[in-house]
Amino acid sequence: DIQMTQSPSSVSASVGDRVTITCQASQGISSWLAWYQQKPGKAPTLLIYAASTLQSGVPSRFSGGGSGTDFTLTISSLQPEDFATYYCQQANSFPHSFGQGTKLEIK
Amino acid sequence: EVQLVESGGGLVQPGGSLRLSCAASGFTFSSYAMSWVRQAPGKGLEWFSAIISSADSTEYADSVKGRFTISRDNSKNTLYLQMNSLRAEDTAVYYCAKSPWGSGVQFFDYWGQGTLVTVSS
């Protein structure tokens, strides 16, 4: 099974900051990676799939990169609504696995 | 508008059974693979079961294999999860999630609102 490791587990930042979250797979997954945002008490929403493709309706300040085992999610200029928990997910093989999550908090 | 609405959650004793449903609307349900994902209180997301559009193939995580069964009725636009031999560690919010395609590996472009399953005596 493929293990997904995100870092950091939490990060504090201010509105307007640029933030990068990383996700590492225990083995190569090509570009089979997605990123989700989850706000408290809500279902996750898809932000990025295929490592770097922005889901329809997602603001362009979100971007994804990487391939193989190392991936990034970058938010170029944080907005108040971006404070949430972010998860990566590998879709290279079953069982699909998620990272443990990165909580983005207001500084 | 795509909508996924889960139901059937609740309190069940250890060893008991529960059946969850996920009613789909706003898209051609029979064309897309579906999954169940759960989230224990205060914890992260855990994928544990998937079914392709035709229902001919299913996948399970080891944590639920042999205890849970995923199924779908494309005539009713509904996804199901039969959960047997429930354990305390199955306590979680259960989400159904839609894949962007009909088979194979999955991302999840739409999610339901979730239904809480609590396993406790």
pLDDT in tens, A59-88: 999 999 999 999 999 999 999 999 999 999
Please list every residue in chain A whose beta carbon sits closer than 8 Å to the beta carbon of residue B35.
96
Confidence of residue B106 (pLDDT cuts 50, 70, 90): confident
Q: For B13-109, list the strands marked E by DSSP.
A: 18-25, 34-39, 45-51, 58-60, 68-73, 78-83, 92-98
Please list every residue in chain A whose beta carbon sits closer than 8 Å to the beta carbon of residue B48.
95
Taking only the tens place, the pLDDT of each residue in B16-55 is 999 999 999 999 999 999 999 999 999 999 999 999 999 9
B78-92 average pLDDT score: 98
- CA distances B29 to A8, A46, B68, B70, B112, Å, are 37, 19, 22, 15, 14
Confidence of residue A107 (pLDDT cuts 50, 70, 90): confident
Q: Which of A78, A80, A76 is nearest to A63 (CA)?
A: A76
B interface with A, Cβ–Cβ below 8 Å: 35, 44-48, 50, 59-62, 95, 100, 105-114
Nearest chain B CA: its distance from A88 CA (Å): 10
Q: Which of B102, B109, B85 is nearest to B12 (CA)?
A: B85
Classify the C-alpha dihedral A92-A94-A100-A106 as positive or negative: positive
User: What is the three-class DSSP state of A100?
Assistant: coil
Q: Do B35 and A96 touch (CB under 8 A)?
A: yes
Q: Decide: B52 and B33 in contact? Cβ < 8 Å.
A: yes
Query: How many Cβ pairs closer than 8 A exist between chain A and B?
Result: 60
Please list every residue in chain A whose beta carbon sits closer than 8 Å to the beta carbon of residue B111.
43-45
